[in-house]
Amino acid sequence: MKNDIKEVLFSEQDINKRIKELGMQISKDYEGKFPLLVCILRGAFMFLADLVRKIDIPMSVDFMAISSYGGKTDSTGQVKILKDLDTSIKNRHVLIVEDIVDTGLTMDAVTRLLSTRKPASLRIASLLDKEERRLLPIKVDYYGFKVPNEFVVGYGLDYEERYRNLPFIGILKEKIYRKE
């Protein structure tokens, strides 16, 4: 599996260190607010699991699974909910947890949907921010790392469902996804 990686961008250590910082910041910002962390499946499962262990204030978690209509180039940014939240978010301080914000279409659709449910606040935490690819002006409130426009995998991020279990984040070799 590691042979398919061209370059390691963030090691396990880099990720742990950064998540600790994010956890401290989130704990400070949400003190007394009992935030609800909403994990967007599947890519964010690992980030969520590590992040919540670095948050030392009372909080809760819920999960949402979505798929985009018409693929990544669909400018409508419509998403289909495969699994909705079990928790009511009305008057809750909601923090969406993502692995990567790329074009921003997913986060645009999710934030628009969740806003209709009248949360007390709604913010985004994303481990990776690929700003260069943004099609919509989505602001990531808490990001781990900015990433270049490369095919990144590992630590939850996949290529055809593989590589999610790598403990680091790396750039996938082109020959893996450029099949003739």
Q: Which stretches of the chain bind ligand PRP, using CB under 6 A? A: 40, 42-43, 72, 98-107, 158
Decide whether 118 or 162 has the Cβ nearer to ligand PRP: 162
CB 30 within 8 A of CB 61: no
Rounded CA separation 56/53 (Å): 7
Name the minimum Å distance from CB 14 to ligand PRP: 20
Residues in a beta bridge with 41? 65
Q: What angle do CA 138, 24, 156 make, to 5 degrees?
A: 55
Spell out the residues 6+ positions from residue 112 whose beta carbon is closer than 8 angstroms to its own: none
Name the minimum Å distance from CB 29 to ligand PRP: 23
Count other C-beta atoms under 10 Å from residue 114's C-beta: 17
Catalytic residues: 102
Name the minimum Å distance from CB 77 to ligand PRP: 7
